[in-house]
Amino acid sequence: MSQHEILFPKPVTVLVAGRKVVVTPVRFRDFERFGQAAAKAIAIAAAETTVQLYAQARDSGVLLDVLRSTTTLSRWRIRRLPAAAAVQLMYEVIRVNKDFFEQALVSAANVLAGAQQSSD
């Protein structure tokens, strides 16, 4: 990859209840909301069972925020997912986007290190 190339995360397809669902990258306009929702979801998961996690995520709007902005599922379908599937899909969305951001940070660090070396 050249230093002038911008990374774009690739959508990932997963099966949910026998249907293909595309997990998409977080859009810039949803970035802050996604970050807040993902942080809440991770904090909730630390001490809760799957059923409690789903109930809290649904009631706080985290689940709908994360899945609506980053999957091809409609609001109607998201609300009708089984709890375990919804939670698993939410963490898959977080994982896909986390991997991209980690890759982008490494790339940025390499570019900055190269720029610093060339200025020395």
Domain containing 29 equals 12-106
pLDDT tens readout for residues 21-66:
999 888 878 878 777 777 777 776 675 676 777 777 677 677 788 8
Q: Is residue 117 part of a domain?
A: no
The answer to whether position 49 is within a domain reads yes
Three-state DSSP at 4 gives: coil
Q: pLDDT tens for residues 43-52?
A: 766 756 767 7
- Amino acid identity of residue 32, one-letter, is E
Asked whether residue 114 is domain-assigned, the answer is no
Q: Considering the chain, what percentage of its residues have pLDDT values greater than 70?
A: 75
pTM for the structure as a whole: 0.68
Residue 120 lies in a domain: no
Asked if residue 118 is part of any domain, the answer here is: no
Q: How many domains does the chain have?
A: 1
